[in-house]
Structures are given as structure tokens and as C-alpha cells.
Amino acid sequence: MQKRFMLALVMLGCAAATARAGWDYTAVTKAEGGKHADMQEAKIHAVVDGTKARIEFTESKNPLMGAGTYLLTTDAGKTARLVNPTEKTYVEWDMKKMMGMAGGIMGMMNMKVKDQKMEKLLEEKGPSILGLPTTHYKFRTSYTMEVTFMGMTQANTTLNEQEMWSTTALKDAAFNFAAMSRESKSGNEELDKLIAAQMQLANGFPLKSIMKSSAKDARGREQSSTVTTEVLEVKQTSVPSSQFTLPADYKESEISPMAGMMGGGSKKSGGSGKQDMDPAALMKMLQQMKKSE
């Protein structure tokens, strides 16, 4: 009788664990100022279960990751797909390939990253956010981007000041999805060094982040922007396995994710189709894809 009672307790415990195996969260990103600020604004709804994650862009002005599209991984971001349910298509989200292409573009445009400086200004115990403990960080990053074209060199200096509240209480591996392939390299030594250094500054999953950026060109013209990302809700839930399954009738698309870095994208996905490479936009996009946000 006692053994049956203990077995029943174990089975109830397993059932409870199964019912609360996954996580559900929503987050919003708002941007002010800057030439490409609107491309960074988005609202996402995500579900996470162990190494599996589905991150849907419920609102977005980014031509690459438009509203309704979602990122899907079953191995904590080692491999991933960007899925478009409207067109019933998907793109393999190959970070190694994209980083290599970005490095090649920077080489063709004679773009160089110089005078890098990364500082951790603060690391302290933060307040509880959404019932989760946090660590409060402050960082300062600066660098100069040089572009040489037809014998003329232009230099833009960028200063980023970031404040972050991050938690290590969310243990599921897929919460590091945004970092994806940390081993990916662009082939541009200075760019890779800058991104790698930024990724190592903080631990955990950011529940809130405020990034203030200012960029000054050789003529002294300055642009500034503020990007705030905040998790609005996070809760444990039972996530159906179907959330992480790609429908069988979806077909692979040949549209390159690099189009999003060029300020364009296909007209079908909401972009203008214009291929207008902007060095600052490229830099911001690469940093966002490579760091945990």
C-alpha cells in the first residue's frame, strides 16, 4: 500500500513537471531617433521548451522579419529557420554563412573597424523583475568605422551606452537563442573581436535593456538613438510539440537574409526591394543577431 502511494506521488510529480515544462513570454522593442530606428521596433511572442524555441514577430517594421514571421529552433539556436506562414516558406538561418557574407561585403567596401573600446561600468544585484532575480549591468562601447571608396576615406565614430537587467533563473538552453552560433566568424578580425567582446560582458537572459547610441561622421554631423527592449510577461506553461514543427507543405525560399541588412528585402515580405547598403545598419544588425538580447 505504501509503495503504491509513493508511486502515485512520483507519477503526480512527473505529470506536474510535464504540464509546466515550457515557458511563454512577450517582449517589446521601442526605438527613438536614428536613420534606421523604425526597423528595430518590434513586439514578439515566444515559447521555449528546453532546447526548442519559437519566436514570433507579432509586430515588426523590419523588412526581413516582418509581422507574422517567426524564428524556429529545436537545438538552442545551433540551427534555425525564419518562417513566413503567409507565403508558406522558410529560410535557413545560417549564421556562419551570413557572417561570412557580411565579412565579404565589408572587404569589398574597404570597411574597417578601429579604435575599439569595451568597458563594463557596473555589475550589481538588481531588483526583482516579473518575479525573477536580476543582475544590473552598465556597459560602454566605442569604435570607429572607416570606409574607403575611390581613394577617399570616411570615418564614423560610434559610442554605445547600455544598461541591462539580466536573469540567470531561466535555465532552458533555448533562452540563449538570440546568441545562436557563437563560433560564427565574419572573417573581419576587428568586427569579430568587437562582437565577441560584447557577448561576453553579461550573463543570463535580459529582461530589460536600454541602449543609447550616438554616431558622428567626419564632418561633425551627429545622430543619436535610444533602443529599449523589455520583457512584458513571462510564465511557465505546457507548450504543444506542434509549436516547434515546420509544416510539411512549407518550401525553402531562396531569398537571402542578408537583404535585411541592406535595407531592402522582397516586396512580398513588406520590403521595398531596394538594395541600399548602409554601414551603420549592417553593424547594428550583426550585433543584434550575435548578442543575447
3-state SS record for 180-232: CCCCCCCCCHHHHHHHHHHHCCCCCEEEEEEEEEEEECCCCCEEEEEEEEEEE
Q: How many CA atoms lie within 13 A of 105 on its CB side?
A: 19
CA distance 55 to 222: 34
Residue 190: what pLDDT?
Answer: 67
Residue 35: what pLDDT?
Answer: 72
In degrees and rounded to multiples of 5, residue 44 shows phi and psi of -125, 155
pTM of the model: 0.73
Burial class (CB within 10 angstroms; exposed 0-12, middle 13-18, buried 19+) of 98? buried
Q: Would you list the domain boundaries of the chain?
A: 22-290
C-alpha cell at 143: 569604435
Beta bridge partners of 142: 117, 159
pLDDT tens digits in sequence order for the chain, 293 residues long:
444 434 443 443 443 434 447 999 999 999 998 777 778 899 999 999 999 999 999 999 888 889 999 999 998 888 889 999 999 999 987 666 666 666 666 666 677 778 888 889 999 999 999 999 999 999 998 888 877 766 677 788 889 999 999 999 998 877 876 554 455 555 566 666 666 666 666 788 999 999 999 988 877 888 899 999 999 999 999 999 999 999 999 999 865 555 544 444 443 443 333 333 344 444 454 444 444 33
| Run of H or E including 139 | strand 135-149
